[in-house]
Structure 1
C-alpha cells in the first residue's frame, strides 16, 4: 500500500493532478459488449510513471463504488502513491470509448461524481521535481479551480508540465474549456500536445507555428502526431523530430499518456529539468528523450492494456 505523506517525495518525484475514471471500451470481436478498464489521462500518467520506476503521487479523487476500488488497485499495483488523493462517497465518472479510423472518441458521464472532488495541492508542489496537470479535471468543476491553483504554484516553485488532452462533450463548454487549457499552457515549462489538441485550442493556426510560438517564450513543447511520430521545440534550437516506432497496433488507448509518462520519467531521471532549463536541451538530448518516449508509447500500442514498459535496451 501507499506510504505516508513524506514517503518517496523529492526532486525525482512527480505530483500528478487530475482525473481517474473508468473507460468503457468495446470488447474485441463484440462491439456491442463493453469492458470496464481504469482510465483518465492523469491516472494513466501516474501509473505509467510508477511502472517506469519514477516516484509518482496521484492527487486526484476516488469514489465509494466498485469502480473506484478497481482504480485504486490498479494505481497501488503500479506503485503510485495515494497519500494526496482525495476521497468521496460519490460514484466514479465514466467515459464510453468510441474507437474509429481517426482515433478514439468519448462520451462522458461526469456530473455529480467523486472524480472531480479534487483538493488543491499548491502547498505541496515545491516538494516535487515536477507537477503534471491536464485532462478533464482542468476544465470540469469543482476540480478546475483546484487544478489551476496548483498549476500556478507549480509554475513558480517546480517544473510545471501540461498536457491539455482536449476533450469534447455535450456537457462541456468548449469556449470555457479552451480558455482554461490555454491559461495552463501559458504557465507551463513543458507542454505535450497532439496536433488535434493545438488545432482545437488555437483554431486557424498551423500546429507547427503554435509550437514555435510557445517554445519561443522559454518552453519545451512536444508535439505528437500518432503514427507520424513526434517533434520537440525549444527556444534555443531548431525542432527535432523522431518517427513513431513501427509496431503491430492492437490498441491506441493510453498511448499518448504513456508517451507523456516517458517524457516526465526521462526529464526527472536525467535531471534535465534542473540543468540549464528544459528549453535549452541540446538537440541530441531532445532526440534521445523523444526516442525513449516513442518506444514506451509503442509498448502500449502492442497490447490490449494501458500499462507501459521500459524498452529493453534502456
Structure 2
C-alpha cells in the first residue's frame, strides 16, 4: 500500500547501554513458529534460531544483545516481550511496519521440517553492524537470516567484521524450502563456517553442506585450521573437534522427548555461556580449549538441550 514506510526503526530500549564489554551480540531473525498440537490446530510460539539463542544466553546469565527487526504485529510484539523478559538488550533491534515471518513446523520421527512464509516481512530487513563490533565479547550469526535477502548481505558483512575484531560463532542451521535457492544458500553458509572461530553443525547440516563426506571429516578439517567445531548427533550425543586432532564426545542426556524444536539453539547458547563464564573467549580463544574443558562444555550443553526437549516449547525457565 502506498504511503506506508517499511524502513526499520529502532526499538526503544530503556536498558540500552553503549558499553558493550562482556556482551554477546546475536544477529538474525525473530520469527514465529506455528507448531501442530494434538487436536490438529497450530500453536504460535516465538522462534527463529538467533532469537532462541539470544533468549537462552540471557537466561543463562550472559549479557546479550539481539540485532534483528521485529514486525509491527502481534507476533512481533510477542517476540519482543519474550526477548525483553529474558533480559536481552534490544537497542540494536529495529521495528518495521511489515509483518513477522512465519515458519510452519512439520514434526516427524526423523525430525522437524518447516514450510516458510518469508517474503515481504520485517524479519529479514537487517542492516550490517560492521562498525559497531569492537567491544562485543562474541558475535553469533546463523539461521535463515544468513541466506534470505536482504538480511543475508548484512549478516555476511557483519560476520566478516566480527571475524577480524571479535570471536565469531556460526551455526548454519541449514533449512530447505521452495522459497530458498539451495545452491546459493549452502555456498553462503559454507563461507560463514570458514569465517567462524566457533562452528556448530548437526550431522544433518554437515551432510548437506559437505555432501560425500562423513559429518566428522569437514569438522576435523575446520578444526585443523584453528577453530572449535561442535557436531551434534541428536539422541546419539555430541562431539567437539579442536586443533591438533583433539576430539572429545559426550552422550546425550536421557529425556522423555516432548519436542525437539529449538534444542540445537539451546545447545549452542549453553556452549557459548560456558565459554563466557570460563574466560575461554579471551586470550588464545576457544580453539585453545583442552579436551577436558571442551567435554565439560558439551556435557553442560547436553543438559540444557535435554531440558528443552523435555517440554513442549523452546524455552527453559
Could you tell me the TM-score, scaled by structure 2's length?
0.94
8 A Cα contact 1:262 1:292, kept in partner: yes
Counterpart CA distance in 2 for 1:2 and 1:141 is 30
Of residues 3, 6, 10, the one that matches 2:15 is 3
> Which residue pairs with 1:14 in the alignment?
24
Counterpart CA distance in 1 for 2:273 and 2:87 is 14
Matches for 1:1-314 after TM superposition, within 5 Å: 2-6=14-18, 9-10=20-21, 12-27=22-37, 29-30=38-39, 32-308=40-316
8 A Cα contact 1:14 1:57, kept in partner: yes
Could you say if the C-alpha distance between residues 106 and 95 of structure 1 is closer, same or farther in structure 2, counting changes exceeding 3 Å? same
Counterpart CA distance in 2 for 1:46 and 1:277 is 21
Q: 1:165 deviation in Å?
A: 0.1
Partner SS for 2:133: helix
Runs of 4 or more off by more than 2 Å in structure 1? none
> Which residue pairs with 2:7 in the alignment?
none
Counterpart CA distance in 1 for 2:273 and 2:132 is 20
Partner SS for 1:123: coil
Counterpart CA distance in 1 for 2:316 and 2:277 is 17
* Unpaired stretches in structure 1, ≥5 consecutive residues: 310-314
8 A Cα contact 2:237 2:249, kept in partner: yes
Superimposed CA distance per residue, residues 151-189 of structure 1 (whole angstroms, 9 cap, x where no aligned partner): 000000000000000000000000000010001011000
Q: 1:275 deviation in Å?
A: 3.4
Q: 1:248 deviation in Å?
A: 1.1
Could you tell me the TM-score, scaled by structure 1's length?
0.95
Counterpart CA distance in 1 for 2:283 and 2:14 is 31
Partner SS for 2:178: coil
8 A Cα contact 1:220 1:232, kept in partner: yes
Counterpart CA distance in 2 for 1:15 and 1:121 is 10
Counterpart CA distance in 2 for 1:45 and 1:252 is 15
8 A Cα contact 1:59 1:119, kept in partner: no
8 A Cα contact 1:13 1:130, kept in partner: yes
* Unpaired stretches in structure 2, ≥5 consecutive residues: 1-12
Counterpart CA distance in 2 for 1:51 and 1:170 is 35
Counterpart CA distance in 1 for 2:263 and 2:123 is 22
Counterpart CA distance in 2 for 1:275 and 1:246 is 35
Taking only aligned residues, the RMSD between alpha carbons, in angstroms, comes to: 1.0
Superimposed CA distance per residue, residues 89-121 of structure 1 (whole angstroms, 9 cap, x where no aligned partner): 000000000000111000000000000001211
